[in-house]
Every structure is written in C-alpha cells, then in structure tokens.
Structure 1
Amino acid sequence: MVHVLHSEVVGPLEPYADGFARELVRRGYAVNAAAHQLGLVAHLSRWMMSQRLEAVDLTPEALGQYVEVRRRTGHRNLRTVKALTPLLEYLRGLGSVPVMESPTPQTAAARLLQQYRDYLIEDRDLRPKVVVGYVESVRPFIEAHVRAGAGELSVLRAADVTAFMVASSRWLAPKTVQRQASALRSLLRYWHVQGLLATSLVEAVPKIATGYPAVPRALPPAQVNELLASCDRDCVTGRRDFAMLILLSRLGLRSGEVAGLGLDDVDWQCGEITVTGKGPRSDRLPLPDDVGQALVDYLCHGRPAGALDRSVFIRIKAPHHGLTAGGVTQAVAAAAHRAGVGTVYAHRLRHSAATSMLAAGASLAEIGQVLRHRGSVTTAAYATVDVAALRTLARPWPTGGVS
C-alpha cells in the first residue's frame, strides 16, 4: 500500500515521505485521498527547497506564505493551512516541528479576553467548550468598549452595560441573549473582584424575559420509525446512523452524549451503559435489547478496525477518530431528509423519547430519571404535551346571561 502511495517528494520533507504515507494508511485514508496528501507534501517540499527552509522552519508565517503561493499558481484544492493538518500533526509527533504557542495578545481587547479566559480555566475550572462560549459571548462587548476609546475600565458606566444588552436583544434570539447576559455578569463580577472596576456593574445587566416555556416539539412514533427505516443497514454508514438514532429515540440521549460514548462505557454483562452528560456527571442507564442489537451490528460489521480512539461511533472518512456532536446532529438531519419528514435535529428525538414514555404511562419523575434532569421543573414541561389530560384540569366555561 505504501508503494502505491509513493509520490516523488524531494527536498527537506523527503525523509518523512514514507513514514507519512504509512501514517495516512494507519489513519484510514483511502488511496486517492492519501495520494493527494502526498502530492501536497511534494509541492510544499519543493517550495521549501526554493526558499532554503527546513522542517523546523514551518512556522505559521511560512505556512501562510506557502498557501498564498499555492493559490497564486492556480491550484484549485488543498489551498489552506488546514489542508496541511495531517502533515503537521505527523511532524509534531516526531518532534521535527515545534508546537507553536499562542501569540501574546497585542491589543487591549485581546489582553482583556485572554485574562478572562485564563480566569475561567484556572479559577472556575470550566470545560473548554463552556469557556469558548463565555469568551465569544463577551467578545463584542469588550471590543466595542475598547474601540470606543475607554482604555481604562474605571470609566465604564452602568448605562454602557445596559445599552449593549438592549442592542443585542434587537438581533439575537432570546436564548442567545440570555446566555450573553450570564457571560457578561460573570465578566463584570471578575473585573470588580480584580479591582478593574471601582463598583460592581452586575446589576446593570437586565434580566432577559423569554415568555412562557415552549411546548416540547416531539415527533410522532410513526415519523420516528420512518427515520430509523431510512438507514440502509446493509452499509457501514447506515448501521452506524441506525445505532445512533435508536440511542437518541429510545434513551433520549443528547447528541454530545452519543458522540462521547466509549467502548468502555458499555457493560454487556449487566446490560447497561454509562452516559456522561452535562458537566462531569455520569449516569448508568439500562441497555434495551433493540438498542444493544443495533450497537452489536455496528461494532461487528461497521466500526473501522483501525479506529484512532475508543469512541463507539467513528467518522466514515479518514481520519477515523470519534464522531463529534455536530456529526451526530448531521446524521439525524440527513435521515430526516431521506424520510421526508422535514428539518429534524438530534434534540427532537430526545423530546420524542420523553413523550413516548409519557404516552406509555410513565410518570414525570420516571421520565426525569431517564433524561437525567437535575430538577423536576425541567421535566414538568412535558406535562403540557398531554392535552387530553390537561382538559380534565380546565374549569368549565361559565354559561348563562349576564345579570
């Protein structure tokens, strides 16, 4: 296979060509895809030779210059630094290319964002995904404040905070504004504790009203069955997607929980799976027979033998590492498109699982246990789904004339 993938690589990267070809095979790249990668390496190596560069000189600046040259010379594909990721990861693994540290922020806004990011990671011990969400939520506020010429945070006023939130509410969805308000309160609290603000401006962030809780939008059982039936279980993709869909629709897992499921999380002897949900919380759930059969079918006849990690669900295309939450959601959307049921994403199947349990006679407390809700208020939203039961609670409309 390596011989088939051989490409004429000359120059500084020639000593790495054979090893990189073997690495591509190990990571599950098809022959054509690996050949394209090696062709890119050959082109990069010739450019490096013309510039008298070695592998250790592949800095972000040098890579930027190379991709610009590749664009100017008319290449139609593999024209970004991202295309070089497999090569760079291989070279860094060998220690031939140093791991680049993040550059020191230069602007005042960038420094403030970096300080806040460090606080969330080191002091609050938040997960990376949560940190990114908080930082991106407050980025517009910090950048607008600095661009306005307020180099000192002490000049920040409560009116500035309120005006920013009012402006955001005009173009952001209510839930997004809620998250931005939470992040902004966290930022202002941090600035006050650090002495960057003389007084706390947390109370200047208005409370965001989102109206009445929405009725959970579930799919009827017939449409859930249509989604499952749309998966071609004679191919690898169909087996994988069917197993994911049945986990979502039967156990009500979130997309991130399905993506995070590992081989060690399935206890076949006890018939249970361990689900890692929001935060560090882990719960054990029973593994229904039909869900277990779907997992066995995929693990035995679909999961790549050369998978790069111990995730249950693996990408179809190389590199064969675990699927992301976004990948799970895309699989649900593709199944909905095939079944002709409109636009459906992974969380709709979680609602469908809850309403199916409710229709079968399960109590709200039992549904909350399966869905692993932290409070009963969250589960109570499903009480609005059973319209027939709600009618018995309605008071009769008064009849007769007005005296």
Structure 2
Amino acid sequence: MSNIAVTTENTELTMLAITNQDILTDFVADKRSTKTKHEYAKDLKDFFKTITGDEPTPQRVSEFLHLDRFKAIALVLRYKQILVERGLKEATVNRRLSAIKSLVNYANKIGQCSYTLIDIKSEKVRPYRDTSGITPDVFKKMLAVPNRDTLMGKRDYALLRLLWDNALRRGEVSSLSIGDLDLDSRRLWILGKGRGSQKEAIAVSVQTIKALQEWLQARRETDINSPVFISLSSRAIGHRLTTTSIYRIVSAIALDAGITKQLSPHRIRHSSVTAALEATNGDVRRVQKLSRHSNLNTLMIYDDNRLSHQGEITDLLADLV
C-alpha cells in the first residue's frame, strides 16, 4: 500500500510539473535547425503580442492551449485576418499559421491541449511566380565591382562567385565554416534547406575555389570552425555574416554595378537556375542537381517562365485578327 501511495504521489507531482512547464520553450527547443527555432519563436511571439498585447509567457500560452476548441479557432482566424490586412505575403501568413498549428499539435501530444487547428486552412500560394533575374552579362558587372586588392573586395567577390556558380541560398552560405571546404577535391559541404542536420557535398568551380583561396589566405585564418564569411565592420568584425548582411552586401553591389532592379541573393539564385536551363536547352533533370529542388515541377516553372510560352501564344492570337 505504501508503495502504491508513493507512486501515486510521484505521478501527481509529475503531472503538476508538466502543467506548469514552459511549453513554448520546450516546443521550440524540440526543433533541430537553429533557423527554425528562431523563426518559430519570432512567429509565435507575434501571435501572442497581436492577440493578447503581451509576451508569450508560460501562463499566456497555457491559457491559449486550454481554450474551448471553437474559441481557439476563432482567435486564430482573427489573427489570420489581421495578417492579411497587414498586407503580408501568402507564404508569410502560412508560415505563421504553421507555427501556431505546430505548437498546438505538440501540446496535444503531451496532453496539454484537447484540440487541434486542422480546420484552419492555409492561403493558396503559387510558388515562384516571378523567377526573373539578371543575365550572365549583367552579373559580370557585379563581379567587377569588388576591389580584389582589398580584404573586403576579396570577400565580396568570393561571396558573389559562390552564390552564382552554385545557386546557393543565403542561409546555406551564412552557415558555412572553413572545415566544410575541401579545396583539393573542390567540394563544399552545405546544410541544405529541408535537410535537417545532414550536410551534403557539392562540387565547386575552379573560379570559385580560387576566389575562396584568395579570401581565406588574406584572412590568415586556420581554425576550421571559423565561418567562411565574416563581418569586416568595426562593430562586428570577425563574426559570422548573417543572412541579412549577405542580403545587404548583394544589394549594395548591384546598385554600384548600375542595376536598377532590386537584387537579392535569392534573385541571383533565380538568375543562375534560369541561365543553367538556357545553357542546357531546358534540361531540368541536370539543372535539378544544381538547384537541389526536391520537386521537379518547381524547375518546370522556371523553364516555362524562361520560354514565355504564354507570350508566344498571345502574339499568335494577335496576328490572327
């Protein structure tokens, strides 16, 4: 009897600890990717600040998770409408809704929420409606901007070459460490989008390898755990370049090159993929090895935009009347 009493008491204490735990912190910590942790925390903070006017404290989170199902759905739908009224893109609205749904599902699994948000529908999104970018000749103008006699010029030139030659995402570039680079075999280990913690090897061009060598030799950095690309500003010198910093560098170089179109690292990725399709006469399977799109249909959108079949048919119709 005494053993049963002790067991019951321990169970009650365990349940009390679970009830009072910081579910939001545990939920975010359960995510593998640092970027995912940051985005979920930011999106959920916006939800609670918008709906309650308060930070997502353990008490506020618990109150939300213990709402009546219909009240919770009504609350999230109201938040969704607010996001739409803010003029946010469909993908951004869906990401924030996904964060809320994931939190609720997590709480449901551990017995801290009795409902789900399965009835909350996402906004319809057509991916990559605009895959336009710049031509190789225009990108050459960007490559000519960095002064390669300076440390910053060497860094920016290597950064541009890597973005173009390998169609990398800025997050993939930001996360690179020196140990991820094998100069002899011309290979680079990257943490690709949606790959979890598993890195994948990609081949690097001779031109990019040379640019990286010049940059790293000028830095005189030998620590393999050091970032490949670092800040050179006085306020953050030596720190890993953030995705925001990479965006700003690319935008500034584009302006210096006389490019009036707003250019970003992802726009360079679009440009590289489109140029690769052009160079291979639309061989989407070969180009998929470069872009690493999991869905081949995404590349078909690039190819359709490149060929502009709709424009051709429009011209044909115009000639008929």
Mark yes or no: TM-score above 0.5: yes
Q: Does 1:283 align with 2:175?
A: no
Going from structure 1 to structure 2, the CA distance change for 1:131 and 1:391 (only over 3 Å counts) comes to same
Residues 181 and 250 (structure 1 numbering): CA distance in 2 closer, same or farther, change over 3 Å?
same
Larger-gyration structure (1/2)? 1
Q: 1:396 to 1:317 in 2, by over 3 A?
A: closer
Partners of 2:83 and 2:138 in 1: how far apart? 37
The aligned length equals: 286
Q: Tell me the CA shift for residue 315 of structure 1.
A: 2.1
Cα distance change of structure 1 residues 293 and 116 upon mapping to structure 2, 3 Å threshold: same
Which residue, out of 124, 146, 155, partners 1:240? 155
Deviations 1:38-90 (A, max 9, x none): xxxxxxxxxxxxxxxxxxxxxxxxxxxxxxxxxxxxxxxxxxxxxxxxxxxxx
How far does the alpha carbon of each residue in 1:211-236 deviate from its partner, in whole angstroms, 9 at most, with x for none?
Answer: 57412121122220111111111111
Shift in Å at residue 128 of structure 1?
Answer: 2.6
Cα distance, 1:174 vs structure 2: 1.8
State the 1:237 CA deviation.
0.6
2:57 is the counterpart of 1:159: no
Q: Is the 8 A contact 1:307 1:320 kept in 2?
A: no
Name the amino acid aligned to 1:354.
Answer: V
Shift of 1:143: 4.3
CA drift of 1:147 comes to 6.0
Counterpart of 1:327? 245
What is the SS of the residue equivalent to 1:385? helix
More moved, 220-229 vs 371-380 = 371-380
Separation in structure 1 between the aligned mates of residue 204 and residue 126 of structure 2, nearest angstrom: 38
The answer for unaligned runs of 5 or more in structure 2 is 1-19, 55-59
CA offsets 1:135-175 (integer angstroms, 9 cap, x no match): 22122433455569994723334222222212221112222
Seen in structure 2, the aligned counterparts of structure 1 residues 396 and 119 have a Cα distance that, compared at 3 Å, is same
Q: Calculate percent identity across the aligned residue pairs.
A: 23
**Bigger mean CA deviation after superposition, 235-244 or 133-142:** 133-142
Equivalent position SS for 2:132: coil
CA–CA distance in structure 1, aligned partners of residues 23 and 151 of structure 2: 46
Question: Once structures 1 and 2 are overlaid, which stretch shifts more, 163-172 or 347-356?
Answer: 163-172
Per the alignment, residue 141 of structure 1 pairs with 47
List per-residue Cα deviations over 1:103-129 (Å, max 9, x = no partner): xxxxxxxx88x422312323xx33232
Give unpaired runs (5+ residues) of structure 1: 1-110
1:120 alignment partner AA = V
| Residue number among 196, 200, 212 corresponding to 1:295 in the alignment | 212
Asked whether the equivalents of residues 215 and 381 of structure 1 are also in contact (C-alpha less than 8 Å), the reply is no
Counterpart in the other structure of 1:358? 277
Counterpart pick for 2:108 among 181, 187, 192: 192
1:368-399 alpha-carbon deviations (Å, 9 max, x no partner): 11112222133222122322667788996499
Give the direction of change, closer, same or farther, for the CA distance of 1:324–1:161 in structure 2 (3 Å limit): closer
Ranked by relative contact order (alpha carbons within 8 Å, sequence separation 6 or more), the top structure is 2
Relative to the length of structure 1, the TM-score reads 0.63
More divergent stretch after superposition (317-326 vs 376-385): 317-326
Secondary structure of residue in 2 paired with 1:204? coil
Cα pair 2:179 2:224 within 8 Å, conserved: no
Q: Pick which of 144-153 and 380-389 moved more.
A: 144-153
Q: 2:175 is matched by which residue type in structure 1?
A: G
Q: Quick check: 2:51–2:79 contact (8 Å CA) kept in 1?
A: no
Q: Is the 8 A contact 2:178 2:225 kept in 1?
A: no
Q: Which residue does the alignment assign to 2:264? A: 345
